[in-house]
Amino acid sequence: PPETVNREYFKESNTHTNCLWKGEASYYDIEVDGKTNKDGAWYYPNPKEKAKNIQNYVAFYPPVRIES
């Protein structure tokens, strides 16, 4: 869920992409220990109606490893 993501390591990216059925995706650069994973995560802040259930959920590219 969106509220469980610790965003202290995230910086808004200028990258945006479009999906025909989900809408426009926004990206984050992930910065940890001085290293940046450019556009390592993305989310849909305002998805189209049929994709509202994914609004603000964050997805990660495979190289990103999440630990608690």
Where residue 68 falls among pLDDT bands split at 50, 70, 90?
A: low
Per-residue pLDDT, 66:
72
14-62 tens-digit pLDDT:
999 999 999 999 999 999 999 999 999 999 999 999 999 999 999 998 8
Sequence spans of domains, the chain? 2-60
Per-residue pLDDT, 2:
87
For residues 30-62, one letter each, b for 16 or more C-beta atoms within 10 angstroms of the residue's C-beta and e for the rest, the string is beeeeeebebbbbbbeebeeeeeeeeeebeeee
Residues 58 and 43 sit within 8 Å (Cβ to Cβ)? yes
State the pTM of this model: 0.88
Domain 2-60 class?
A: mainly beta
Please state, in angstroms and rounded to a whole number, the distance separating the CA atoms of residues 27 and 23: 13
Per-residue pLDDT, 49:
98
